[in-house]
Amino acid sequence: MMQTFRNAKQINFNTIIYVLIFSLLMSFFGYLYEQIDFIPNYLLANNPKEISVYWSKFHYIVNPAHYHILPATLTVFCLLYIWINRKRLNKLQYKSLILVTTLIIIVNILTVIAVFQINDKLYFSKEVNNQINLKWLAIVWSFINIIRLLILFICSLEIYNKFKTN
């Protein structure tokens, strides 16, 4: 009976690890989609102000933040579960957990900057009339997004490599 309980706990822990990897990759592919779809429209457009008007209408109906809420929430809950059960981790897994948690905090800080400082102006603001400012904001957003993509990819690999089961 006790062995069955231990096996069930291990299955539960492994499930959390896979859900964490899934949520990290879900965020990764969401950011990758945004990088491929949104930013070239600003950088290659003759009139970024016109593009801004179209994106503003699109994002009024379909806000990309709604997509990112689920993977971000899953990531936080999975990391919280692993931290609560960290006694069962070996040294390498514990170091990996610290690294991944730190990197996820950095991703979230970059996301707050991208969403509240840049996305608001690129997609929702009527204040930015200067085409050069729109292109500059798109370049900064793209740079931040590339950093987020790299970090999420590293986190996914780190979790997979350190926590994979046989």
The model's pLDDT over 105-128, given as tens digits with 9 standing for 90+, comes to 999 999 989 888 887 777 766 665
In this prediction, residue 2 has a pLDDT band, given cuts at 50, 70 and 90, of low
> pLDDT over 90 for what percent of the chain?
44
For residue 127, CA distances in Å to 53, 85, 114, 116, 122 come to 11, 48, 17, 15, 10
- From the number of C-beta atoms within 10 Å of its C-beta (0-12, 13-18, 19+), residue 151 rates as buried
Provide mean pLDDT across the span 155-159: 94
Q: What is the pLDDT of residue 93?
A: 92
In this prediction, residue 28 has a pLDDT band, given cuts at 50, 70 and 90, of very high
Please indicate whether residue 53 or residue 107 has the higher confidence score (pLDDT): 107
Q: How far apart (Å, rounded) are the C-alpha atoms in residues 137 and 142?
A: 8
Query: By three-state DSSP, how is residue 85 classified?
Result: coil
Q: How far apart (Å, rounded) are the C-alpha atoms in residues 144 and 56?
A: 20
Q: How close are the terminal C-alpha atoms of the chain, in Å?
A: 23
Angle at 140 between CA 111 and CA 76, to 5 degrees: 10
